[in-house]
Structure 1
């Protein structure tokens, strides 16, 4: 837990100096992807500090030196806790908050049994607002400071989550989920209404504060070719926006896509043929890719998002992290198909999936995927996901001895990686000593 020491305001000191906050603890910063750069990409300060002013990181380094250089800064000392960038969840469905951990079934059955009935409730603005606030409470309690979320077909669902995120000062990405077929009648729009609604929401929210709109066809089975083309045209009109969708999650889903799009070369081609393949495309799951699909994704520089708890919970398959050697790969909970709001649990699941594929992912890579890797997948690496001057001061502070089981293992650690790995594998919201959004603490401790 952090202890804050305040100083009385001094009228002789500049206001900017008085607004500085110095957050002390162990600091773990990454200069880049440890998968490519090795452990040289990481810098660990056992007695470090992060200086914050006006919502941005101003300096990172030795805690004592920063304290001496900034004697008027407000001090929050987290002791031996580990300061990291805030976690970034690169693929989630906030409207599925209330149905997380619903029993069993494959993807299509799960959508019909749980997801669609729940999403139909988001035509009620009051309900959407309640779930939006509940969702943000849950993720920030778990150290997550940025999410890329699907909403529902209802514009009010987008308004609700953006309003809630803006009130908290969060960087948040979201979009209206578009579907005009193979869904209940009360959850269908049309090609034209999908374009019109998305365009209006984009104009209202994109770039407003720390918010970003994402063009969001759910996936090819629930969008007609006409709707995919309409959304492709919208993306062409707004190339600075991201586009998110699902790709090759389950083998029976792929067979369904093949039956619906018999002329397509593969699943990815159903997007490519309608203007929905590009550098700012973010494709969730991507488990069962064909060689042509991999080559095209690499060629355009698109990003993939690994959703390990979802992939195991729904029985989809095992993602190949080797794809991160040649394209951006983020990490995500995929709530509520994913079975946890915690990016720690998500990292643990990614490790387990890697083991089943014969690759033991290093703790450095797991932490990077949940921070800098997800930021890069969302084209936000210049704003979030790192501890560096000029980056937004969204931080997560980990208690590395949050439970007796974790504490007894951490006590034997000889390196920072041995110290943090038990928290990755066994940690939950109790391990989050504090979450900072734009430099301000948000978790009650």
Structure 2
């Protein structure tokens, strides 16, 4: 579901309602899932609430508490739906009770909903429960991630398909089947305990990681950044770290997000991304960077390195440098070597090639990149374009930028790539250290 389309209004612009949608959709679905015990019913109720909001808010203005308004309206919509669907059964039950000369003992479905809203939750965050529910081992790993991104982050099917590099219809089918599996298998809506918890952790970490990445570099739309998703991922990371303080990879993921989030104030300018090498480091959030670096040091003391800890260590090296020229690229390359051993894959290899180009030059790095099978990934072509440009192969660089443009889904990225392509002139010029890092800038 996309953010609701609303008519133009001087009182509540469309963008404001879309902001509420982005911020509150996942929370509302999570609460309604606990109440109703049904993912489809929860989504239906929340979508109904946002449909009402899209119709009423432009004229009436935002309510004092948009989040509370959405939850209350969704609750009422869920109750109305239950009454419509179970009315006949309730009337039969009430008639039978009256015939027997007694009052009906069983509560109605709407009374169940109201009681659930009024009761105390056993774990203090519905969104965390929803992540673990969607990451149940009965679901395939890729489906776990996609379903949680859909329900928790409010990402559209198209956005999730882009993140997974699969066609949108394929992703839509996966999501439908996944929700049916959750329903049919009666997967419990809870955070697992004891020995079960570590087994369920890897897909949960992946979900939080992808939510953060979608916020830090949006896969589609006009804005480069979606701060609401960044904040949500960090919040969930902190919660998970408090739940599992002795799990190094949980701490590593949180450290990675904090170090990346600390650089976000310098991430964009004029609606376009700013490469790490070109960022004004005076804008960085030094408190977040210090917190992330301390967590990396704590992970190093544990000496149980995993992929998230290694990525956090790479980010810490970048954050330690007072300017781009001071970056310890040899250390970055060593860390990518370890990351490639721990989590082999073409995207990690692409990142490593960027570091290799800074250590040994673009020629050997280009040879490694050309061997990768990442033709459908726009950053693959953007990195190739940078290497080719640095080697003086300008026509090939322009073609590579064109290929990246054709694949980029975000308007800001497209503007940036188009600007880079326009800089390729007949006369050669030294491009400098301007490689596009797949790791967020």
Fold shared by both chains (TM-score > 0.5): no
Superposition TM-score, scaled by structure 2 size: 0.28
The two structures have a TM-score, normalised by structure 1, of 0.28
Greater Rg, structure 1 or structure 2? 2
Higher-strand-fraction structure = 1
